Amino acid sequence: MRLIDGGALSRTMCGKQCGCEPEECGYEVGNRCPWRNEIDAAPTIDPVRHAHWKATSAGMAICSACDEDQEVETFVGNAVQKYCARCGARMDAEEENDG
């Protein structure tokens, strides 16, 4: 899979094929460029958030991405859950070292 910049593709395709500018593509009057319609209809993905668990008390930890306190299973101090149930962050980031 390859990620693209939809805005840049719109500017290129609309400019070359239709001669219009994406910002003035007739969107307000419902008469949009067919290239813009296809680009806007293409599937998108959200970027993966990376975080780590910050232990607070026995069986509880805070996600470093969303700062939500939640119950997590632990094994010798390491959380078993690989994703935050609240925000979906992947628990693979290095823990910050405060010096």
The two three-digit tokens of residue 28, written as one number: 């307000």
- Its pTM stands at 0.49
- How many residues can be counted in the chain? 99
Which has more pLDDT, 96 or 54?
54
| 1 within domain boundaries | no
pLDDT band of residue 99 (cuts 50, 70, 90) is very low
- Domain encompassing residue 18: 6-41
Percent of the chain predicted with pLDDT > 90: 10
| Residues 35, 32: Cα–Cα separation, whole Å | 8
| 12 within domain boundaries | yes
User: Are 37 and 76 within one domain?
Assistant: no
Question: Number of folded domains in the chain?
Answer: 2
User: Are 59 and 91 within one domain?
Assistant: yes
| 30 within domain boundaries | yes
pLDDT digits (tens, 9 = 90+) for 12-56: 777 676 666 656 665 444 566 777 778 878 887 778 899 998 888
| 60 within domain boundaries | yes
User: Are 77 and 62 within one domain?
Assistant: yes
